[in-house]
Each structure stands twice: as C-alpha cells, then as structure tokens.
A and B are shown apart, each in its own frame.
Chain A
Amino acid sequence: MSTDPDFTGPTTENLVFDAAEAQRRRRGSTLVRIGDHLKREWQLYAMLLPTILWLIIFLYKPMYGLQIAFKDYSIFRGVADSPWIGLEHFNTLFNNDQFLRAVKNTVIISFYSLLFGFPMPILLALMFNEVLNQTFKKSAQTIVYLPHFISSVIIAGIVITAFSPSAGIVNTVLGWLGIDSIYFLTKPEWFRPIFVGTGIWQEAGFQSIVYLAAIAGVSPTLYESAVVDGASRWQMMWKITVPSIMPTIIIMLIIRIGNILEVSFEMIILLYQPATYETADVVNTFIYRQGLQGGQYDFAAAAGLFNAVVAFVLVMTANTISKRYSRTSLW
C-alpha cells in the first residue's frame, strides 16, 4: 500500500489495530468477548433472528424427513420407526424408462427455457430503459407484469383456448394463411415451444424488474462523461449499461441454473395429455403421478432428493466457473 517502505510512524490503520489489540488483551475469556459483542450488536442479531428461525423451521428441520427416501415409510409408524430399505427406491427409479425419459424432458425443457427465457427480461429491461416517454413506459411495464399475477390455471385456460383447433386465435390466423388447423396440444412436437413460450410471456416482464433496479443503480456520471465523449445511445447501452449490470446477470444465471430441474410442473399438469407425455412429462409430473397420487411419499422423496442433488451440483459448477472466469459469484 505504502510507497515508502521506511515509513514507521503511527498510521491510522496501526492506531486502530493497536486499540483493538489492547481491548482484546483487557478482555477475559472468549465467552465474555462474545457476550460483549452481542451486547453491542444485539440490534443486528435481532433483525437476523426471524430469517434464521425461518430457515431452521422450514428448510433445515424438514431435512430430517429426507431419510424416508431410504425407508419403507408408513405415516402411521412415523419417520423414525419406519424400517430402512437402503437404495431400493432409487433402484426402482432408475430402472424405470419413464423416469429416465422424464429426466431427459426436464433437462431439455429447462434448457430451452434458459436459452430463450433468460435473455428476455434483460432485453426488456434494456428496452424499457431506453424509452423516453414516461407514460408509455409505465403502461408498457404494467402490461408485461400483468401475466405474472394471473394464476397458472387461468393462464393454462388461455393457452388451451388460444391453441384450440376450432375457436383458437392461432388456428384462425393460420386459416387466413391457408394452413389447415393443427390440434397443437395433442402434438408432442409442439408441446415444448408452447410451454416455453407461455413461460416467457408469463414471467419475462416481472423478472425484468431485477435488471431495471440494477440499471437504476448505475452511476449517472458514467453516462454524463460518455455523452461528453460523444458516445451514441447504442454505445452507452453496450459499453456502460450491460457491463454494469453483468454481476446481476451472472447471479441470476447461477440461480436459474440451480433451479433448472424445477420446471413449473403445475403448468405442465394443466397442459399435458397422455398424447404429449413423450415430450412433456418431467420429473415433477412423474413424481406426482407415481408417488403422490398413490400416497407413496418415500418414493416421491427419493425422486425429489435426486432432483435436489443434481440441482446442487449444477449450482456449484456454475458458481465455480463464474468465479474463475468473471470473478462474480454467489459465495
């Protein structure tokens, strides 16, 4: 730090360090020190407490129940008294072709959602940022946020109606173009585009809020100096806005990758048919049909645990790669 290696006088840094050292020496045991620390900072800990309790009650305590994935679980006997059966549920799972198909579908659908769905809110946020007319900006934002607040059941109803072969708007337009109507929701090849498209329509607007907030945090001085340098709006967007919000983008991407197996399965249940299982059946719908409908909680827990482990590995990998190449990471 210092350019002069011979300088030995008391810097502020050294003074602070000495004071802390002296204080530490005056104190007694670790316990006393922790006590003092708590007394001094208790407000901060009080604010932390609810979140910690929430984590313990809703996330850590339920982990105790994960053991039923390795047990022959009976709700009457309880978690502790149900007999262990080792990896039998996992065996059943991996010997099931439909499970493997569901894993494949999950990855493909998630990958498409990521590929087409992830850039959308960023583009939207950048576009909103460039809109000068405030009234237009506000109303456009409201319109794209709206679908987020509509329940999935209604969204599915809208989709089914829109793609209906007789009355749907899509087939009506196709009809004008002289194309025969297509019964989209029973065609396996159409399921993924419809599902991914619906997801984008429903969520892209709302997700753009995060990026808008990040853009709002970019220092105006950067733009001012760019204007002085004669930069165009296009250049400012690519050279200032995008790099400035890159950390946000990376974090969002890592989180997205962690959720890659969490396809919004309630939407799939509402939209799929046996005729489209081939491309539509994902791990969660498989668990729902096999496990929960039949009350097989242990089996469903095994499939859920598998899901969680894969998600964990994905987050770790994404985080490590990001840390190495962009120095932005979750932890």
Chain B
Amino acid sequence: MNGPHDLGGQMGFGPVAPQSHEPYFHADWERRALGLTLSCGAFGAWTIDESRHARENIPPACYLSASYYEIWTRALEVLLERHGFATSAEIASGTKQIEPAVPKRILKAEMVAGVLSKGGPCDRPLETRPVFAAGDRVRTKNFNPETHTRLPRYARAKTGVVEAVQGAFVFPDDNAHGKGENPQWVYTVVFDAAEIWGEGADPTLTVSIDAWESYLERF
C-alpha cells in the first residue's frame, strides 16, 4: 500500500537528530511495548508481514507523529482484536470481558532465550531456478496495490542491475494477507541515483533494494 511508512525520498522531516548515549528505551512503557509485541507474536496467530501491514495501516497523521513503540502498540492492538484475543473495549479498560481465542503457544519466561536465539528464518527451498542472474538488467514493475508490498514507491518502474541472487524467501505481499508463504527468489537490484531521482541526483550514489522476482521484468 502507498502508506505513510513508505518514506524513501520524502522531504520536510528536518535533520536527523542522533542522540549521543541514547538509551534503548525512553520510558518504561516502551520496554513493555517491546516485550508485549514479541510475546504476542509468539501466539503464532499472525506473521511478521501481517504485523508490518498493520503498522502501515495506521493513519498517516498518526503514524508520522508517533514514536516507533507507539506504532508497534497501535498495530498490536489491531492484531489482538482481529484475531480474537482482546476486544477494543477490553484494551481500553484493561479488564477482561470475553474468553480469548486460544493461541498456538504462550511465551513463558524460560522459553525467551531459546525463542530469541532461534528467530524466525523465512528462507524457503524452491525447486524452480531463478529467472534472473547477476548482471541482468531489470525493470521494476509499476503497481500500486492497496495491500502489503515491499517494493517502495521510489523504486517502481525503474531500471537497474541484478547484483546478486539472495535465495528464496516467503513472499510478504501474499503472506501478510493469509494467502500463504508462496516463496520467490529475491534479488539485490542496484539503481543509479539518476535513474531514481533524475536531475540533480548525486552522481556518486547508487541505491539497492532487495526485490522479489515478481517485482521484476527483464529489460
């Protein structure tokens, strides 16, 4: 979707404000928001792709003024409601009213180290051969789905060069919407800045994205 999250090339946000000696958290609720988001992810009810799409769906004015842990929290509330774990009334009141859906698992303290160190690999073996090879010139497609995609707007309908075949991975555009993992080959595609930004682009700059095969056409 063309949401507020798709920020590459937008202007007007001012300078980057690095904070020296920045703490990992700026308030205690940020700690809990991180822990809750990961704990609820362990339910196995939604994928990381659905989770990202829930964040993208936060209305632009809210998204752009929220801290990242606020974005996570708002998306988590949507996911909990969508999957039957809590109603919005329960979330607002902090009080149980209905029995929740049954998660595939509940993360206990003793499971945390193992779960975090295992992660969630999303490479998948594919029988098909990759269509493109390093050195191929490709053009990204021009599409504007209302659904989840990982092809940023600035990199649509642009010509670049395949630098590497990175392996086959779960296809987020489908997986975010419960349509299956449908893995595809992923390629690192490099663009000259002039191809993306046109006149005045930094001549020393190249930008790469990691693109699923269906985002690309041979040029």
**A and B physically associate:** no
